[in-house]
Amino acid sequence: MLNMGAVLLLLIGVADGVTTFCDATQPHITTTQCFGSLGGTVEVQLPAQISQDDAFRLRKNGVTILLDRYQTNIRYSFNVRTGIFTIKDIDRTDNGTYSMEVHNIYGTALANTKCYLTIQAPVSSPLLSRECLSRGQQRVSCSAGGGGLHYSWSLDGLPLNDTRLLSGPGSASDVTLEPWRTGLLTCSVRNNVSNAAANITLSVCDGVMTFCDATQPHITTQCFGSLGGTVEVQLSTKTSQNDYFRLRKNRVRILLDRNQTNIQYSFNVSTGIFTIKDIDRTDNGEYSMEVHNAAGVQVAFTKCYLTIEAPVSSPLLSRECLSRGQQRVSCSAGGGGLHYSWSLDGLPLNDTRLPSGPGSASDVTLEPWRTGLLTCSVRNNVSHAAANITLPVCDGLIPFIARSLTVVVLLLAALGVYWALKKKKTSSPRDIALSSMAVDDGVLYGNVSGATGRAGGE
Ligand SMILES: *[C@@H]1O[C@H](CO)[C@@H](O)[C@H](O)[C@H]1NC(C)=O
Ligand SMILES: *[C@@H]1O[C@H](CO)[C@@H](O)[C@H](O)[C@H]1NC(C)=O
Ligand SMILES: *[C@@H]1O[C@H](CO)[C@@H](O)[C@H](O)[C@H]1NC(C)=O
Ligand SMILES: *[C@@H]1O[C@H](CO)[C@@H](O)[C@H](O)[C@H]1NC(C)=O
Ligand SMILES: *[C@@H]1O[C@H](CO)[C@@H](O)[C@H](O)[C@H]1NC(C)=O
Ligand SMILES: *[C@@H]1O[C@H](CO)[C@@H](O)[C@H](O)[C@H]1NC(C)=O
Ligand SMILES: *[C@@H]1O[C@H](CO)[C@@H](O)[C@H](O)[C@H]1NC(C)=O
Ligand SMILES: *[C@@H]1O[C@H](CO)[C@@H](O)[C@H](O)[C@H]1NC(C)=O
Ligand SMILES: CC(=O)N[C@H]1CO[C@H](CO)[C@@H](O)[C@@H]1O
């Protein structure tokens, strides 16, 4: 049974990850700052010159947690030989001041060491998204989970420092780059317990081209242009080389007769197509064109209203296991007026196959047994983009069961030891120590259930 407990502890250790180390023996520092990773293990180096005859007492926020010969309980352990104090399965309540007093057999204090433990969530893999702005500029955003995050960027291995950036400091979670920057951009994220990085390839932003047919008379056609892109509006097919035309934006003349091109606007007389390049937010509005023949008779009058939307950026998918093995997948994309749709293995994920929410939401919750290739498609009136994610079975339930079993196994083992000792001697000072340890175990049991609750939510 103890073997089974050890195997389960091993499994949990493998599942849970980050181990941090802290040296609390440095002289002249009264309280050393240590960091522990949520769900991980911290090892604190305390004075190692303890002999077998010395007595020690470890306290957390003034309360004794380990004493003399009782050097191990479910989560705390102290190795007398190495002087390393270990806390496993860290949760948010483990923050606080830890201290250790060492006395020799005459009761003389030999050492008193203190450290303050701060708990941080480890850094999750960063997600990168890239967006084209007007004039070919591009913005890249980096998002990661975890506490106290610090960002840094590099392009083709060289640090992207402030002199190479158009906006903001190089330590922000998003950067804006000049139009001509290309290469491999890396976002590195770190905190005091872990670090992670992600890459994205930068190419030139050349914008999205949209087309709109505004040749219908008597109505104002709704047209859409993409921020940073180009729009072509079919205004008339009736112009001949001898006609005169007049193009207006919000009633102000922008192009006239033979002067058919300026920096942003152009009109091709032979095709009747009006083009706006390098669109920015101020380009929205009503455009109209009047065509007169050589005799001054109006032969055409068309109108359109141009709405500007930011194009859809590559969607980012993130997956989260909920309790009971359900899973939630979120899709996030940049852009204006976004419309989402989902499919699983190529078949639309409609409302009858979803436990919650409509299939047009930006996140969906799926039954535990759903597996396959999930696709999130995002579109607006100027562009569209999609992303895939492979759904495995949520194993969130396994650590939950494993931890509950471990607690049961260890409590049974403790009970076994207790009964064995009670049989030997009915009254001894050890019994007092053990009963106080049993009280401690009660407190620890609370901590461990807190940890399992968290695992279930992950
Ligand atoms: C532990 O952290 C919480 C906030 O996360 C804080 O309110 C609490 O005072 C801290 N406990 C100790 C003993 O420092
Ligand atoms: C910025 O980076 C460039 C090349 O990566 C380097 O030559 C320059 O010295 C750096 N400037 C600062 C202020 O770090
Ligand atoms: C990013 O690219 C560099 C250079 O190709 C590579 O060494 C590194 O492993 C990549 N990092 C990630 C997270 O993909
Ligand atoms: C065309 O219009 C621009 C202003 O938009 C003006 O500066 C230029 O002189 C005009 N050219 C001709 C040939 O009319
Ligand atoms: C107008 O469009 C035609 C057909 O696409 C093209 O051949 C011509 O070069 C264009 N004219 C101008 C001034 O762009
Ligand atoms: C939902 O999708 C399934 C298979 O993909 C299809 O058989 C069913 O008709 C769809 N239902 C609705 C209401 O669209
Ligand atoms: C496109 O624009 C129309 C209004 O003209 C709107 O009703 C529709 O929802 C838009 N479509 C998308 C995908 O945003
Ligand atoms: C998603 O997967 C499908 C099927 O394998 C593939 O055709 C499509 O190109 C993929 N899309 C993306 C954005 O990776
Ligand atoms: C990267 C990071 O978050 N570093 C922090 C580690 O902790 C010290 C305080 O001990 C902070 O000053 C750092 O910013």
Helical residues (DSSP H) of 378-428, grouped into ranges: 397-424
Closest ligand by atom to 373 CA = 8
Compute, in angstroms, the gap from residue 121 CA to the centroid of ligand 8.
33
Instruction: Please give the Cα distance from 233 to 412 (Å, whole number).
Output: 78
163 and 189, same structural domain?
Answer: yes
Instruction: Please give the Cα distance from 458 to 452 (Å, whole number).
Output: 10
Collapsed DSSP state (helix, strand, coil) of residue 99? strand
183 and 159, same structural domain?
Answer: yes
Instruction: Please give the Cα distance from 299 to 293 (Å, whole number).
Output: 7
Q: Which residues line ligand 9 (CB under 6 A)?
A: 33, 148, 150, 190-192
Residue whose CA lies nearest to ligand 7 atom number 2: 381
Closest ligand by atom to 352 CA = 6
Q: Are 82 and 48 in contact (CB under 8 A)?
A: yes
Q: Which residues line ligand 3 (CB under 6 A)?
A: 184, 186, 197-199
Pairing label, strands 138-143, 127-132: antiparallel
271 and 238, same structural domain?
Answer: yes
Give the mutation target among 347, 349, 352 for probing the ligand 6 site: most ligand atoms within 8 A of CB: 352
Residue 423's pLDDT is what?
67
For residue 330, being part of any structural domain is answered with yes
What's the distance, Cα to Cα, between the start and end of the chain in Å? 28
For residue 98, being part of any structural domain is answered with yes
Considering 184, 207, 230, which residue would you say is the last residue of a domain? 207
For residue 400, being part of any structural domain is answered with no
Instruction: Please give the Cα distance from 453 to 91 (Å, whole number).
Output: 11
Structural domain of 365:
313-394
CA torsion sign for 160, 162, 163, 166 is positive
258 and 217, same structural domain?
Answer: yes
Compute, in angstroms, the gap from residue 317 CA to the centroid of ligand 6.
23
Considering 207, 228, 251, which residue would you say is the last residue of a domain? 207
Instruction: Please give the Cα distance from 351 to 360 (Å, whole number).
Output: 9
Instruction: Please give the Cα distance from 253 to 301 (Å, whole number).
Output: 14
Q: What is the CATH number of the domain that holds 32?
A: 2.60.40.10
State residue 84 phi and psi, 5-degree precision. -100, 125
Closest ligand by atom to 210 CA = 7
Instruction: Please give the Cα distance from 44 to 425 (Å, whole number).
Output: 36
Residue 68's pLDDT is what?
73
Identify residue 219 by its one-letter amino acid code. Answer: I
Give strand ranges (E) for 259-383.
265-268, 273-276, 285-292, 298-309, 316-321, 327-332, 339-344, 347-348, 363-366, 372-379
Instruction: Please give the Cα distance from 16 to 458 (Å, whole number).
Output: 12
Residue whose CA lies nearest to ligand 1 atom number 1: 95
298 and 216, same structural domain?
Answer: yes
Q: What atom in ligand 3 is closest to the CA of residue 199?
A: 1
Smallest CA-to-CA distance from 16 within 78, 89, 97 is with 89
Annotate 270-288 with DSSP letters as a single string: TTTEEEE-S--GGG-EEEE
Q: Which residues line ligand 1 (CB under 6 A)?
A: 61, 95-96
Residue whose CA lies nearest to ligand 5 atom number 9: 268
Q: Which two tokens stand for residue 447?
A: 């901590």
Closest ligand by atom to 351 CA = 6
Q: Which two tokens stand for residue 67?
A: 């004493």
CA torsion sign for 153, 154, 160, 165 is negative
215 and 187, same structural domain?
Answer: no
For residue 6, being part of any structural domain is answered with no
Helix or strand holding residue 3 (H, E) = helix 2-16
Instruction: Please give the Cα distance from 344 to 109 (Å, whole number).
Output: 67
413 and 364, same structural domain?
Answer: no
101 and 33, same structural domain?
Answer: yes
Instruction: Please give the Cα distance from 284 to 287 (Å, whole number).
Output: 9
How many distinct structural domains can be found in the chain? 5
233 and 300, same structural domain?
Answer: yes
Closest ligand by atom to 188 CA = 3
Q: Which two tokens stand for residue 427?
A: 């009254």
For residue 11, being part of any structural domain is answered with no
Considering 261, 282, 309, which residue would you say is the last residue of a domain? 309
For residue 245, being part of any structural domain is answered with yes
pLDDT tens, the chain, 458 aa long:
434 433 333 333 333 478 999 999 877 778 899 999 998 999 999 876 667 778 888 999 999 888 876 666 778 988 888 889 999 989 999 999 999 888 888 888 888 889 999 999 999 889 888 877 766 678 889 999 888 999 999 999 888 876 666 666 667 888 888 877 888 999 999 999 999 999 988 877 777 889 999 988 889 999 999 988 889 999 877 667 778 888 999 999 888 776 566 778 888 878 888 999 888 889 999 999 988 888 888 888 899 999 999 888 888 898 888 777 788 899 998 888 999 999 999 888 876 667 666 777 888 888 888 889 999 999 999 988 899 998 887 764 454 455 555 656 666 676 776 777 666 655 444 333 333 333 333 333 333 333 333 333 32
Residue 321's pLDDT is what?
81
Compute, in angstroms, the gap from residue 253 CA to the centroid of ligand 4.
12
Compute, in angstroms, the gap from residue 239 CA to the centroid of ligand 5.
14
Beta pairing partners, 223: 306
Compute, in angstroms, the gap from residue 117 CA to the centroid of ligand 1.
10
Q: Is there an atom of ligand 2 within 6 Å of 259 CB?
A: no
For residue 285, being part of any structural domain is answered with yes
Residue whose CA lies nearest to ligand 1 atom number 6: 95
CB atoms within 10 A of CB 144: 23
Instruction: Please give the Cα distance from 152 to 169 (Å, whole number).
Output: 10
For residue 4, being part of any structural domain is answered with no
185 and 93, same structural domain?
Answer: no
292 and 335, same structural domain?
Answer: no
Instruction: Please give the Cα distance from 269 to 245 (Å, whole number).
Output: 9
Q: Is there an atom of ligand 6 within 6 Å of 348 CB?
A: yes
110 and 45, same structural domain?
Answer: yes
| Cα–chain center distance at 5 | 34
Smallest CA-to-CA distance from 341 within 318, 364, 319 is with 364
Compute, in angstroms, the gap from residue 388 CA to the centroid of ligand 8.
6
Compute, in angstroms, the gap from residue 85 CA to the centroid of ligand 9.
22
Compute, in angstroms, the gap from residue 95 CA to the centroid of ligand 1.
6
